[in-house]
Chains A and B, each alone.
Chain A
Amino acid sequence: MVEITVRKRPRTEAVVTQRKFFKKTARGKVIKVLRERYLRDDVSCGIHSCQVCASEQESVLPSSGSLEHPSFPNGHFLLPDTNIFLSQMDLMESPLFDPPIVLLQTVLEEVRHRSLPLYNRLKALVKADDKKVWVFYNEYRSETAVIREEGESPNDRNDRGIRRATAWYKSHLELSRPQIRGQTKPPQPAVVLLTDDVANRQKAEKEGLPCVSVRKYVEGCKNSSQLLDLLSASGSDTIEPTAATAARQALYPEYLPMATLLAGVKSGRLHQGHFNANQYNYLEGSVPVPAFDKPVLLVGRENMNRAVQGDVVAIEVFDEKEWKAPADEVVDQEATLRNDDAEDSEDEGDDDETLAERKVLEAEAAKQAASSKQPTGRVVGIIKRNWRSYVCHIDSTSLTSTNPTSLSQQTVFATPVSRLLPRIRLRTRQAPALIGQKILVTIDRWERTSRYPEGHFVRALGKVQSKEAEQESLLLEFDVPYRPFGKAILDCLPPEGDSWVVPPKSSTHPDWRDREDLRGLIICSIDPPGCQDIDDALHARRLPNGNIEAGVHIADVSHFVHPDTPMDHEAAARGTTVYLVDKRIDMLPALLGTNLCSLRPHVERLAFSVIWELSPEAEIVNVRFTKSVIASKSAFTYEEAQIRKDDPKLSDELTESIRLLNDLARKLKAGRMAAGALNLASPEVKIHLDSSESSDPVDVEQKELRETNSLVEEFMLLANISVAGKIQETFPQTAVLRRHLPPPRTNFEKLQDILKKRKGMTLDVSSSGALAASLDQCVDPNEPAFNTLVRIMATRCMLSAEYFCSGSVARDTFGHYGLASPIYTHFTSPIRRFADVLAHRQLAASIGYTPLHPSLHSKSHVERVLEVVNKRHRMAQMASRASVEFYVGLALKARSEKGTVLEDAYVIRTFRNGLGVFVSRLGIEGLVTFKREIQFDADNYTITVPADGHDVTISVFDKVQVKVEVEQDKNTQRGRVVMSLSQPIDSRRL
C-alpha cells in the first residue's frame, strides 16, 4: 500500500500559501477565488548524484553541467526565461543545441498560458531522448515560491520567480559540493539565466546572477553558424537599425486592437473566418463566412493585409457597389514581382513592381462582368495566426553573392513550395550553400512596413528533386508525423517479437478466452499486389438450410494495442497510415502492421469476425460478431482472384467460395445502387516503378478496376454498416461513426450551369439517388471519357466524409450520402486507420468481450481523438496525391527527354487568359496560358483564340491535345509541369 500522509500548512504562512483573486466567468459574473498551495522541501533539483536532494526520480542533468561552452569553463546549466521558448523554440528543438536545461514550472505555465501549440512542443522537448531537460517545480518548493507583491505585474512576478530560482540553484550547488577544509574550492558549475528581456538581465546582474542573451550564448556555441540561423527574427532586434524602420513607409494598414475585433465580430459589423489564398492569383484571397453564401473576396495586397493561408482573420465587408467578381486571370507572383529586391527594404513604397501590380488589378476591374459579383472586403485584424514551418526554395536571384564560401549575412527570398503562400524574406549566412536545396522556413513576423513576411531558416531537407528531400518536404508540408517509433512505443509490442504465434488451443490461455476457433474455414484474402498489411480476409459457404454464411475477418489489432499505452497514444496522434508512391508511413510499428496483425496465408492469426447468414438474395438473416482465430488459406491479388474465379476448369473449395462471394457482392451492390448510392470517380493513376530498389518511375497508367475489387469493397461496406449499427445501439453517446453530409445545393450551381450551356444536360441534385441517376444520363456517345469527367467534377462539388462521435451530432445527420446508408463506420482496416481501432474496442465491449476503457465512455475524449484523426486523414490523402503528382512529374521528365509528350486533355475551366485542362491519362490538372489577347466569354465558358485567318473557339468539356513539358524554374530549381496546346491550335506562339 502506498503511504498516505497529511501535508501540513501552518496558518501563519498563509501569506505565501494562500492566494486570493477575482475571476470573471463566461457569463460575466465576478467571483472571488481562494486557492492554497502546499510548499515542500522534496522538489528535486534534477542534478545527477546531488547529495542534498535524494530523489527516487531519475535525474537527467549531468552533475557538472555542460563543459562545452567557452564562457563557462566550470560547466553550466541553462535556465531559460519564458521569452526564449516563446520566440526561439526552433533553436531549442535543434538537435545541435543540447546543453542541460533547467525548465522552471513558472516558465512552463507561462508558455502554456500564452500559446498551447508552443506548450505542446515544449512538452515534447522535455520528453525527447536526446535532450537534457529537467522540469523544476519551483512554485512548490518552499525556498523558491514567490508571491505577487503590491503593484507588481504578473510578468514581473514571474521574472522575479525565475531569478529567485536561479539564485536558489546557485546556493544549492554550493551546498551540494561543500568545500573540504585544506583543499581548494571544488569547481562549481554555473546556472546561467538565458533571457532576451533586457530588464530582467539587468536585475539579475544586480543580484549577482550569471545571465546571457540568446544571441550571445549561441555565438559561443561550437555550432554557432548553424544555430545562429535558427534564431528567430524577433529576438534579433539589434541587427537592423531602428532608425531605418522608423523612416520606412507603412505599406499595410494597421490592425485594429483585439478587443475592437471581438466586439465587431460579436455585433456583426465584422466577420471572422479562415483566410484562403487563391492559388491562381496571388493578389486575391477569400474568406468564407457564415453571413454570406459566397466567400468574401479580398482583392489586392492592402485588402489582404498580411493574412497568410490558414490564418483566422477578421474582415470588414465593403458596400455592395464596391463588390467585385473573382479574377478570371492567372497572375503569377514570380512573373510579376521578379525584380523585387530582398535587401532593399527602404523604399518599397511606389516602385515599378507595385505599379505593375496595380495595373493588373485595374485591368481586372475594367473587364468584370456585373453578374458574378460577390461580397468584397478587407482584413482589419488577425484573430489567430496559424503559421507553421514551410518548405521553401531559396530564390537564387535574390542573392547578392553566390560565392559558395561566403559567410556574410544576406537577406534572401524563400519561395514556398505551396502556391498559396507569399515569399518569405530571411537572413542567413549559408545562402550560397542552400541554393538548390529544399529548406524549412518559419515565418516570425510581418511588419506593416515590409511587403513580405520575415522568417528564419530552420533546417535543410536536401537537394531539390532528390527523392528523400521531396518526400520529407511532402511529409512536412502535410504535417505527417514520420519520426521512427520511440522506445516506449516499441516496448508495448509483445516481447516475443516476430516469433509470436497464436498459442496452442486451450480453454485456460487468456488469448483463447471467448475466441471461436475458425481455423478450419476456407478463408482467403484479396488485396492489391505487393500488399503487406493484410487487414481483412473473407469466407463464404453454403448452409444446409439453403442460406449462405459469409464472414469478414479483420485483424484483431485491439488485442495488441491496449488503450492508454504509449503505442495507443502514438497511433491516435498519427491517425492513419500514409501511403506515398514508394514509401509507407505506418500508424503502428511494422511488427504489428505487416506481421502479427497481418492476416497472412497459412499462418494462424487472431481476428475479429463478422459473420452473416445471408439469404441467396443477399438479404441479412442474421449477423454475429466474435473474436476468433483464423488461418487464411491463400492471399490473392485482385487479378489472381479474378482469373481464378473466371477459370471454368477450377472447382475447388476456395474458388467456389470466391464465386459465392462474388455472386453475393453483385447482389449487394445492386441493392445499394437501387438505394441511391453514388458511383463517383476520382482520377487515380498508378505509378510503375522500374524496380523496387531504384524506384525510378517508368510509366504512369490509370488504375484498373476488376470485379474482385468490388467484391471486397461490398463486403467491407456490409461489415462496416453492421458494426456501426451494433456499436451505436450499445454506446449511443460515444460510438465512433463516419458520415458524409449531403452537399449544399449551391455547390453544384456552376457545374449545372456549365452542363446546361455546353451540353444541354441537366443534373438533378435533389438527393443522392437522383444525382446518381442523372449522372448516368450524362453520356456523350462521341466521348466515352466524358461521363467520367463529369463524375470527377461532381465529386469535387461534394463535402468530404468525416468521423464523428454519435453523441455529439443530431441523430438525423448520421447518414452517409455517398453510400446511401443511414449509418456507417470504419471497422475493416484497424492496421492503418485509428478510428477502426476505436470501433474494434467498442464492438469488443458491446459483445461483452472486454469492458470498455473509461476514455471511450467520455464524449469529449472521443471527439478530441476523432478531430485529430479527421485532420490526419485529410492530410494523408493530400500527401499521397502530392506524392503521385511528384512521380508523374518525374515520369514526364523521363518521357519528354525521349521526345515530345502529347496527351489528350479535357478543358475544365476557362480563364481570361488561359484554360484549365485535365489530362486523364496522367491524372493531373494543368494550366495553358496565352500571352496574346484572346476573347473570353465568361457566361458561356468559351474562349476564342484568333489564329491566322480563322478564329478557334474552345469551350469547357472540349477535348484538346496538349504538349506536356517539365520545366525547371531557373530561380528556385523547382520542377514544374508546363502545358501548351497543340490541338486544335498551337498555343506556343500565342
Chain B
Amino acid sequence: MSSRIEILNDGGFRSDGRKQYELRDITIDLSQQGTADGSAMITHGLTQVLVTVFGPREAKMRSQTLHDRAVLNVEMSVAPFSTGDRRKRSRADRRILELSAMIASTFEPVVQTTLYPRSQIDIYIHVIQQDGSLLPACINATTLALITAGVPLHDFVCAVTGGVHSTSPLLDLTTLEENDVPHMTVAVMPRTRKVTLVTMETRLHVERFRELFELACEAGQTIHKEMKAAVKERTVALVGAIDAGSKPGVVDERDRDVFMGESI
C-alpha cells in the first residue's frame, strides 16, 4: 500500500499537503506539570512529547557525581499507544537508551553545568504519540522544559529532520517519509549557529549532504522563532501575574531584563 503513496508528487505536494520546505504545525504548552521544576509539551504534527525537568538538585548516585559540574540524567519512556501497532517498550530498550544518550550529549555543551557542581538535573521524556521527527521533538521540548525550569543555558537548541527524495530535499519528515527517504537530524544553537547534533541512520549520498545540512540549519532558525514566541508568551503571563499583585507600570522595564529579549 505504502508504495502507492507518492512522497512528493508532480505538483510539488507531499503526502500530507505540505510543500518541500514547510514544517508541520508546532503547538507548545509550557504550563506547570505537578511537582516538576519545568515542563514543556510539544505537539509537532502528530508527534507529541512531554518533557519534565527536576533539578538542579543534589546528586543521588554517589558514584556518578561530578565534582566540578552537574550531571544530566535523561530518562525516556514511550507510551505503548504512541504508534499504530501497540507495542510495549521497556525502559531498557536499546533504541530508547540510544535516544536518551543522544539527547544527553546534545545538551551537555549547552547547559551551564559548571554552575551546579555535585548536583544532577533530571530530564524525563514521555513520548505520547509519534509520527516521525521524534528526536527533534524531544530535543525541542527538552530545551523548553529546561528554560521553564530556569536552568541556565548558553542558547536554545532547535532540532529538525531533513531528507532527500531522489534529488529534492524535504524538511520535517513524517513516519511515512522517514521509512522511504534517507534522512538526518540536525540540532543547532540558533544564536551562535553552532551545531550540537547531527545524526544519520540511513545512507545519504555525499553530494546531497551539504545542501540538506544547510537547509536543516536554516529550518532550525524557523523553529527557534516558534519556541521563542512560546517562551515569551509564558514569561509575559508570569510577569503579568506578578504585576497583578504589585504596582502596575514596571512591566516594561522587567521585560527588558528577561533574557530572551529581542536581541537574542
By a CB distance below 8 angstroms, the chain A residues around B205 are 851, 853-854, 857
Cβ-based interface call for B210 (8 A): no
Task: Judge whether A137 and B22 touch: CB under 8 Å.
Answer: no
Taking CB atoms, residues of chain A closer than 8 Å to B18 are 7, 38
Question: Is A97's beta carbon under 8 Å from chain B?
Answer: no
Among the 9-residue stretches A29-37, A82-90, A484-492, the one with 4 or more Cβ atoms under 8 Å from chain B is A29-37
Contact: B167 with A31, CB < 8 Å?
no
Query: Which residue of chain B has the shortest Cβ distance to A7 in the bound complex?
Result: B22
B25 contacts across to A, CB distance below 8 A: 6-9, 38
User: Within the complex, which residue of B4, B129, B206 is in contact with A113, where a contact is CB–CB below 8 Å?
Assistant: B4
CB distance from B224 to the nearest CB of A (A): 11
Contact B22 A23 (CB under 8 A): no
Q: How far is the CA of A853 from the CA of B206 in the complex (A)?
A: 10
A696 to B174, CA, bound (A): 63
Taken together as a complex, chains A and B put the C-alpha atoms of A23 and B20 apart, in Å, by 27
Q: Complex: how many Å from CA A913 to CA B69?
A: 100
B22–A36 touching, CB < 8 Å: no
Which residue of chain B has the shortest Cβ distance to A858 in the bound complex?
B203
B218 touches A1 (CB 8 A): yes
- In the complex, the answer to whether A6 meets B26 with C-beta atoms within 8 Å is yes
Contact of A851 among B129, B206, B223, B226 (CB under 8 A): B206
Q: Which residue of B is nearest A5, CB measured?
A: B22
Cβ-closest chain B residue relative to A140: B17
Across the interface, which residues of A come within 8 angstroms of B26, CB to CB?
Answer: 6
Q: How far, in whole Å, are A3 and B20 apart by their CA atoms in the complex?
A: 10
Q: Which of B4, B46, B214 contacts A34 (CB 8 A)?
A: B46
Minimum C-beta distance from B229 to chain A (A): 11
List residues of chain A with CB within 8 A of the CB of B252: none
Contact code string B53-91 (vs A, CB < 8 Å = 1, else 0)? 000000000000000000000000000000011000000
Would you call A4 and B10 a contact (CB within 8 A)? Answer: no
Given contacts A31-B84, A38-B16, A137-B11, contact A7 B21 (CB under 8 A): no
Q: Collect the chain B residues with CB atoms within 8 Å of residue A29's CB.
A: 85
* Given A2-B215, A564-B167, A851-B206, A140 contacting B84 (CB threshold 8 A): no
- In the bound complex, how far is the Cα of B228 from the Cα of A443, in angstroms? 64
B226 & A37 in contact (Cβ 8 Å cutoff): no
Alpha-carbon distance between A4 and B220 when the two chains are bound, in angstroms:
10
Given known A-B contacts A38-B16, A38-B18, A851-B206, A9 and B24 have beta carbons under 8 A apart = yes
B13 touches A23 (CB 8 A): no
A135, B171: Cβ atoms under 8 Å? no
Q: B201 at interface (Cβ–Cβ under 8 A)?
A: no
A132: B residues at CB distance < 8 A:
none
Q: Is the CB of B21 within 8 A of A2?
A: yes
Q: Mark A6-45, 1 if CB is under 8 A from B, else 0.
A: 1111010000001000010100010111111111100000
A interface SS class: mixed
Q: Which residue of A lies closest to B43 (CB)?
A: A11
Q: Are B46 and A36 in contact (CB under 8 A)?
A: yes
* B192 at interface by CB-CB < 8 Å: no
B13 touches A137 (CB 8 A): yes
Of all chain B residues, the one with the shortest Cβ separation from A861 is B166
With beta carbons under 8 angstroms apart, the residue of B4, B84, B222 that contacts A32 is B84
- Closest CB-CB distance, B132 to chain A, in whole Å? 11
* A855 at interface by CB-CB < 8 Å: yes
- Determine whether the beta carbon of B21 is less than 8 Å from that of A5: yes
Q: Please report the C-alpha to C-alpha distance between residue A4 and residue B226 in the assembled complex, in whole angstroms.
A: 12
Q: Is A444 an interface residue (CB 8 A)?
A: no
B256 at the interface (CB under 8 A from A): no
Per the bound structure, the CA–CA distance linking A730 and B22 in Å amounts to: 39
Residue B208, interface by CB 8 Å:
yes
The answer to whether B4 touches A4 (Cβ under 8 A) is no
Which residue of B27, B45, B222 contacts A5 across the interface (Cβ within 8 Å)?
Answer: B222
Interface hits, A34-79 → B, CB 8 Å: 34-40
Q: Is A857 in contact with B203, judged by CB distance below 8 angstroms? A: yes
B262 interface hit (Cβ, 8 Å): no
Whose C-beta in chain B lies nearest to the C-beta of A33?
B84
Knowing A23-B1, A31-B84, A37-B17 are in contact, say whether A4-B219 is a contact too (CB < 8 A). yes
The A-contacting residues of B in range 1-59, CB under 8 angstroms, are 1, 4, 9-11, 13, 16-18, 20-27, 45-46
Residues of A within 8 A of B17 (CB): 37-40, 137, 139-140
Q: Tally A residues with Cβ within 8 Å of B.
A: 39
Q: How far is the CB of B107 from chain A (nearest CB, A)?
A: 23
A7 touches B23 (CB 8 A): yes
Q: Is A417 an interface residue (CB 8 A)?
A: no
Query: Is A37 a contact partner of B13 (Cβ separation < 8 A)?
Result: no
Q: Whole-angstrom distance from the CB of A29 to the nearest CB of chain B?
A: 6
Produce 1/0 per residue, A244-260, CB < 8 A to B: 00000000000000000
Q: Is A978 an interface residue (CB 8 A)?
A: no
Q: Distance in Å from the Cβ of A227 to the closest Cβ of chain B? A: 27
A345-379, CB under 8 A of B: which get 1 and which 0? 00000000000000000000000000000000000
Does A938 lie at the interface of the complex (its beta carbon under 8 Å from any beta carbon of B)? Answer: no
The reply to whether B46 and A3 contact each other, CB–CB distance below 8 Å, is: no
In the complex, A326→B131 CA distance in Å? 59
Asked if A851 contacts B207 (CB within 8 A), the reply is yes
A5 touches B23 (CB 8 A): yes
B208 to chain A, nearest CB (A): 7
CB nearest to B83 among chain A residues: A31
In the complex, residue of chain A having the shortest beta-carbon distance to the beta carbon of B14: A38
With A1-B218, A37-B17, A857-B205 as given contacts, are A6 and B22 in contact (CB-CB < 8 Å)? yes
Q: Which of A1, A6, A123, A135 is in CB contact (< 8 Å) with B24?
A: A6
Across the two chains, which residue of chain B brings its CB closest to A136?
Answer: B11
Known: A23-B84, A137-B13, A857-B203. Contact between A11 and B23, CB under 8 A?
no
| A6 and B222 contacting across the interface, CB-CB below 8 Å | yes
Task: Report whether A3 and B21 are in contact in the complex, using a CB–CB cutoff of 8 Å.
Answer: yes
On whether A36 and B166 interact (CB within 8 A), knowing A6-B226, A7-B23, the answer reads: no
Chain A residues with CB under 8 Å of B84's CB are 23, 31-34
Query: Known contacts being A38-B17, A40-B17, is A6 close to B23, with CB within 8 Å?
Result: yes
Q: A959-971 interface mask toward B, CB cutoff 8 Å, 1 = contact, 0 = none?
A: 0000000000000
A3 to B215, CA, bound (A): 10
Bound together, the chains give a CA A937 to CA B129 distance in angstroms of 77
Scan residues 848-882 of chain A and give those whose CB is less than 8 A from a CB of chain B: 851, 853-855, 857
Q: Would you call A112 an interface residue if the criterion is a C-beta within 8 Å of the partner chain's C-beta atoms?
A: yes
* Nearest chain A CB to B49 CB, angstrom units: 16
How far, in Å, is A161 (CB) from chain B's closest CB? 14
In the bound complex, how far is the Cα of B25 from the Cα of A3, in angstroms?
16
Q: Please name all residues of chain A whose beta carbon is closer than 8 Å to the beta carbon of B203 when the two chains form the complex.
A: 857
Establish whether residues A35 and B208, one from each chain, have CB atoms under 8 Å apart when the complex forms: no
Determine whether the beta carbon of A126 is less than 8 Å from that of B10.
Answer: yes
Smallest beta-carbon distance B19→chain A, Å: 9
- A35's partner among B4, B16, B20, B206 (CB-CB below 8 A) is B16
Bound complex: CA A11 to CA B223 (Å)? 19
Q: How far is the CA of A33 from the CA of B130 in the complex (A)?
A: 11
Inside 8 A of B219's CB, which chain A residues have their CB?
Answer: 4
Complex interface: chain A residues within 8 A of B171 (CB): 4
What residues on B are CB-neighbors of A105 within 8 Å? 11
Inside 8 A of A23's CB, which chain B residues have their CB? 1, 84
Using CB atoms and an 8 Å cutoff, list the residues of chain A in contact with chain B. 1-9, 11, 18, 23, 25, 29, 31-40, 105, 112-113, 123, 126, 135, 137, 139-140, 564, 851, 853-855, 857
Spell out B's residues near A (CB within 8 Å). Answer: 1, 4, 9-11, 13, 16-18, 20-27, 45-46, 84-85, 129, 131, 166-167, 171, 203, 205-208, 214-215, 218-219, 221-223, 226
Given contacts A137-B9, A137-B17, 11 further A-B contacts (CB under 8 A): A2-B20, A4-B171, A5-B22, A7-B18, A23-B84, A34-B131, A35-B16, A36-B16, A37-B16, A38-B22, A40-B17
Pairs of residues from A and B, 7 with the lowest C-beta to C-beta distance, nearest first: A140-B17, A854-B205, A31-B84, A9-B25, A38-B17, A31-B85, A6-B23
Show 25 A/B contacts (Cβ-Cβ < 8 Å), sorted by A: A1-B214, A2-B20, A4-B171, A4-B219, A4-B221, A5-B21, A5-B222, A6-B22, A6-B222, A11-B27, A23-B1, A29-B85, A34-B84, A34-B129, A36-B45, A38-B16, A38-B17, A38-B18, A112-B4, A137-B9, A137-B13, A139-B17, A140-B17, A564-B167, A851-B205
